[in-house]
Each structure stands twice: as C-alpha cells, then as structure tokens.
Chain A
Amino acid sequence: DIVMTQSPDSLAVSLGARATINCKSSRSLVDRSTGKDFLAWYQQKPGQPPKLLIRWASTRESGVSDRFTATGSGTDFALTISSLQAEDVAVYFCQQYYTSPVTFGPGTRVEI
C-alpha cells in the first residue's frame, strides 16, 4: 500500500496569516502517460463528512475559495491557505488514488 504522511499534526495560525500543510507519499503518484498526479485534498469540520477541495494535486473544486492553493508533484505535496479565516478551522487530509487501495494521510488540524 502507498503510505501517506502529513506534517505537521496540527498548527495554530493567526487570522489572516498563511497556513501550509505538507503531504508526502511513499511512492510517486504521477501517471507517466498523462503527467497527472493522483492526489486529492479534503477539509473536514466537526460532525461533517470530508469535503473535496482539490483533485489532481492542484485543481481546485468549483466553489472552493481561491485562498486554498495546492502544489507539488511526485511524492511531495502541499496545501496552503493564504489568509486563514475562522471558517477554515478544520482537519485537512490528503489522499492518493493512484492505486488501490486508496489511502489517506492521518490529517492535520488547523486552529486559530
């Protein structure tokens, strides 16, 4: 199985400041024929299911704030929240779907 790790486990950021979450996979997530990275990012708030923010490593979902930017390729990825707002308090997960079984990172808790 592909192992996904995230850092840090949690971070506290001031309102309006930048937050960056890192995600690393145990093997490359790039499909050589398409150049696409099979990596997604989710946001989960208490009592809610995860919400897809980013697919293909950097493609923002419709309706997701442009404060969320995702970068990276291969085995190293990052999700940046450019100006943290109160509604961004949540746990963030990365997920690889390059191969079955699909696996998730352990999550990063973002607080104010």
Chain B
Amino acid sequence: GENVEQHPSTLSVQEGDSAVIKCTYSDSASNYFPWYKQELGKRPQLIIDIRSNVGEKKDQRIAVTLNKTAKHFSLHITETQPEDSAVYFCAATPGGGADGLTFGKGTHLIIQP
C-alpha cells in the first residue's frame, strides 16, 4: 500500500517568514495530493490540493509543488501569520484502485511573534 512520510514533525518560524513542509510518497500510481490544516480538537480542513498532471499550484500565501519523478511534494506558506499556527497533514491517494487517503504524521507549525 501507499506510504507517506512527512517532515519536519515540528517547525517554528518567526512571524512574516516562510515555512516549508515536505512529504514523500511510495506509490507511483497516486494522483491526488491534498494538504489539510487541523487546529487543536477540530476537524481537518483542506487548504490546497494538487493533481499529478500539475507541477505547482498557488492560492494567495499558500503554494504546493509536486515532483512526480522524485515522488515528493511540498507545502509553502509565505508571510506567516499567528493564525497559521496549527498541525498540517499531507496525504496521497492509495494505489491499486483503492479509495481513501493515506496521511503523513503531521507537522506542528508554530509561528513565533
């Protein structure tokens, strides 16, 4: 099955600086890669996603890049703000015709004032 590795587990950045979170996946058949933000005790919420036929996608301060050859994708947050503090999860679709998402273990992003 699919395996998703996510790094780092904790990331602390100064307010206004950029943050980058990286993920790798194992199944070359995966074709959908969402990123979720989860605040403490709340549900995960989709912040951006990318499909395998696209190399980069941006939405205001958030961008995702995908390298299919290397099987890794990254989340970039620019001009970080206090409200960006949360746990971020990357995910990928499984191979073999199965459904559902395989998640990384999460990155706790801390924005220092």
- A and B interact physically: no
Instruction: Mark B residues whose CB is within 8 Å of A.
Output: none
Give A residues with C-beta under 8 Å from B.
none
